[in-house]
């Protein structure tokens, strides 16, 4: 091991107290120093934390942002989300490859640069976006591609690149309850401390607050279960993994409302009895790490974190962990595995995190927005909060609006707002569909635009992707199929194989090579994945395919019609043929009757 590597490892490991549960952070910081993870580094880390080398390798191999072989001194990753593609991302990436004489996914022969794609970078409101050495660059244009390629060829360090390229905007277009708050730092926490843990919990229950991470679980019940669980220590985890394509509201909350989020974590700590909070931020938001650390330092200085908060016996502090490019780490038990230094594979549940979470201790995992909303409840009370929104969806929801509209960005509404109203306000024209809550959510067609955002109707973690009539909804679904195939963690066979097969079949259909048999195979995969997958990723992976097939059939039929042997093909005939071929009367019936299971 050379001296530089040794010295770097010593610094990184000391910073993390040679603690294996910090492995993801140790690997990230080591890679930041060398651009990749050399074998000697893996061995050195394994020895230092006392883990078998194979365990360290398995973590390093799991995350797409870790590299156990060199991938170029400049590593460019273009966001492959559908909205970036709609803004020309794929063509710009191709142009960059041509200018750098590169094939996508390959490292240049001189080891200078590699160019590839990555899943959504959470910058859909100002794409096309990319990451260069994991720093985000937005609004790529042909001119910017040419300039960037020249800088890379000349090996100009990133610190000397135009600063404007790295500017990330908030694009807050509409403020509501949360984004329009007037709370000073410490105000909500002081109100919570004055109420005391039991009363604060009662207010959260009275508010009817439900999780904003997608599932909509009742926050008061979750906090009560965690509070009542026996353990040596309790933990609060803030889930800022935000990997669902089309979602970027947590990015904005962490950028400009970090105090509110940290304060929400402290309130959760007060209620559940936790003294430690862990903020898990997706690796794509690496640029937020230093500002967030500064915000934490300022809060400690102001007596809002640490011992004797605001002069009371209450003690609570927060540490930040960065992810490393794995969508599945948004799933709460996978996130906890990642926090413990392991590959982010969802745990078998029960037991649930509220009783056996981080380090097997009672843990509440909450979305960024949920925790921020708790501050409003601390200040104004549960009844006030429950007075906004609808009966089953109290309060407000922040939407991340992107795609075909004049004003992409962040919009906050009380629950119950219609899709049509959001479309009108974001300047959408000739809209044919909205993908609500990302690929794992629901595709809403024009005749459904009066449907409402809320747990009673359209539940959402926040993504609101707009597609106008020029878009091919089959290609949208194909992009999502590839997303799921890429992000499946591989733990269970139905999802690992099923997502790959579905992506391949969608490619086959795109090339007009599909037969009725293939459509039936997709139905089978969907059922199999829904019934037998281990976690929500596998359960929802076929949602976009079936929504678009149901609502935009011509986009699929066009491709089937061009089959040489069936020039006048229609989907109904294909399905009945599939039934004959499989000998099953129900082949495809669930689709045609409008069900997706």
Ligand X SMILES: Cc1cc2nc3c(=O)[nH]c(=O)nc-3n(C[C@H](O)[C@H](O)[C@H](O)COP(=O)(O)O)c2cc1C
Residues lying near ligand X in the complex (CB under 6 A) are found at: 211-215, 217, 239, 241-244, 328, 330-332, 365-367, 370, 535-537
Please report how the helices 368-380 and 258-272 are oriented relative to each other, as an axis angle in degrees rounded to 10: 80
488 binds ligand SF4 (CB under 6 A): yes
Residue 538 site contact among ligand SF4, ligand X, none (CB < 5 to 8 Å, cut-off depends on kind)? ligand SF4
By CB under 6 A, residue 534 contacts ligand SF4: yes
Reported as type and span, the H/E element at residue 191 is helix 187-195
CB 244 → ligand SF4: shortest distance, Å? 13
DSSP state of 347: P
**With binding defined as CB under 6 A, does residue 482 bind ligand SF4?**
no
* Phi/psi at 113 (5° precision): -150, 150
Residue 150: its H or E element: helix 142-153
Q: From the CB of 491, what's the least distance to ligand SF4, in Å?
A: 4
Question: Whole-number minimum distance, CB 426 to ligand SF4, in Å?
Answer: 32
Find out whether 550 and 433 touch, Cβ atoms under 8 Å: no
Residue nearer to ligand X on the CB measure, 244 or 457: 244
Q: How far is the CB of 487 from ligand SF4 (least distance, A)?
A: 7
Interatomic CA distance for residues 259 and 294, integer angstroms: 11
347 lies in the site for ligand SF4, by CB under 6 A: no
| Residues 561, 111: Cα–Cα separation, whole Å | 46
Q: What is the rounded distance in angstroms from the CA atom of residue 231 to the CA atom of residue 20?
A: 21
Q: What is the DSSP string of 404-418?
A: SSSS-EEEEEETT-B
Is position 533 an interface residue for ligand SF4 (rule: CB under 6 A)? yes
Residue 496 binding ligand SF4, by CB under 6 A: yes
Q: Which neighbouring-strand residues pair with 114? A: 75, 107
Query: Shortest approach of ligand SF4 to residue 505 CB, angstroms?
Result: 18
Residues touching ligand SF4: how many (CB under 6 A)? 14
Among ligand X, ligand SF4, none, the one that 314 touches (CB under a kind-dependent 5 to 8 A) is none
- 268 in Cβ contact with 197 (< 8 Å): no
Task: Report d(CA 342, CA 329) in Å as an integer.
Answer: 11
Least distance CB 26 / ligand X (angstroms): 23
Write phi, then psi, for 24 (nearest 5 degrees): -60, -40
* Distances from the Cα of 289 to the Cα of 94, 188, 352, 498, angstroms: 31, 24, 29, 36
Pair 433, 407: CB distance under 8 Å: no
Out of 44, 211, 277, 538, point to the residue binding ligand SF4 (CB under 6 A).
Answer: 538
Query: Mask 300-319, x = binds ligand SF4 (CB under 6 A)?
Result: --------------------
Nearer to ligand SF4, 257 or 546 (CB): 546
Closest distance of CB 488 from ligand SF4, Å: 4
Residue 9 in contact with ligand SF4, rule: CB under 6 A = no
In the complex with ligand X, which residue's Cβ is closer, 44 or 214?
A: 214
Nearest to ligand X of 151, 265 (CB atom): 265
């Amino acid at each position: 091991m050379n001296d530089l590597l040794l010295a770097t490892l010593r610094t990184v490991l000391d910073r993390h107290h040679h603690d294996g549960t910090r492995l993801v952070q140790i690997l990230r910081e080591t890679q930041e120093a060398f651009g990749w993870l050399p074998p000697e580094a893996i061995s050195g880390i394994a020895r230092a934390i006392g883990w078998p080398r194979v365990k360290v390798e398995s973590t390093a191999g799991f995350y797409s942002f870790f590299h156990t072989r060199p991938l170029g001194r400049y590593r460019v990753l273009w966001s492959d989300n559908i909205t970036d593609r709609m803004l020309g991302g794929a063509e710009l990436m191709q142009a960059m490859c041509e200018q750098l004489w590169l094939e996508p996914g390959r490292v240049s022969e001189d080891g200078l640069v590699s160019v590839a794609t990555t899943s959504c970078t959470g910058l859909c409101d100002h794409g096309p976006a990319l990451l260069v050495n994991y720093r985000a660059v937005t609004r790529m244009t042909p001119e910017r591609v040419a300039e960037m390629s020249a800088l890379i060829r000349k090996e100009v360090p990133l610190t000397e690149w135009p600063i404007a390229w790295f500017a990330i905007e908030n694009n807050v277009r509409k403020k509501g309850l949360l984004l329009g708050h007037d709370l000073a730092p410490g105000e909500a926490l002081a109100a919570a401390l004055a109420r005391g843990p039991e009363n604060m919990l009662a207010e959260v229950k009275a508010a009817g607050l439900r999780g904003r991470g997608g599932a909509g679980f009742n926050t008061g019940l979750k906090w009560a279960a965690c509070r009542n669980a026996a353990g040596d220590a309790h933990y609060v985890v803030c889930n800022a993994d935000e990997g669902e394509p089309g979602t970027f509201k947590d990015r904005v909350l962490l950028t400009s409302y970090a105090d509110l989020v940290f304060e929400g974590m402290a309130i959760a700590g007060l209620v559940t009895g936790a003294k430690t909070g862990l903020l898990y931020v997706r690796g794509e938001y690496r640029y937020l790490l230093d500002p967030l650390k500064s915000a934490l330092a300022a809060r400690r200085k102001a007596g809002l974190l640490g011992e004797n908060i605001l002069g009371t016996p209450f003690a609570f502090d927060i540490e930040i962990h960065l992810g490393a490019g794995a969508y599945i780490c948004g799933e709460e038990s996978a996130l906890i595995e990642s926090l413990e230094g392991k590959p982010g594979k969802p745990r078998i549940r029960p037991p649930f995190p509220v009783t056996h979470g981080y380090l097997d201790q009672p843990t509440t995992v909450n979305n960024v927005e949920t925790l921020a909303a708790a501050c409003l409840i601390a200040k104004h009370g549960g009844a006030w909060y429950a007075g906004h929104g609808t009966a089953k969806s109290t309060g407000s929801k922040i939407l991340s609006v992107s795609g075909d509209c004049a004003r992409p960005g962040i919009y906050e509404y009380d629950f119950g707002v219609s899709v049509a109203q959001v479309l009108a306000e974001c300047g959408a024209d000739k809209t044919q569909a909205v993908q609500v809550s990302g690929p794992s959510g629901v595709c809403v067609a024009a005749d459904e635009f009066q449907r409402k955002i809320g747990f009673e109707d359209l539940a959402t973690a926040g993504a609101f992707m707009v597609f106008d009539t020029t878009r091919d909804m089959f290609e949208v679904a194909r992009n999502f199929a590839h997303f799921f195939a890429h992000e499946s963690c591989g733990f269970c066979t139905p999802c690992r194989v099923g997502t790959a097969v579905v992506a391949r079949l969608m490619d086959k259909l795109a090339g007009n090579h599909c037969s009725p048999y293939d459509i039936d195979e997709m139905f089978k995969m969907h059922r199999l994945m829904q019934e037998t997958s281990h976690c929500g990723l596998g359960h929802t992976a076929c949602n976009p395919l079936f929504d678009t097939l149901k609502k935009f059939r011509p986009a699929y039929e066009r491709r089937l019609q061009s089959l040489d042997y069936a020039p006048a093909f229609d989907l109904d005939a294909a399905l009945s043929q599939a039934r004959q071929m499989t000998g099953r009367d129900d082949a495809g019936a669930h689709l045609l009757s409008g069900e997706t299971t």
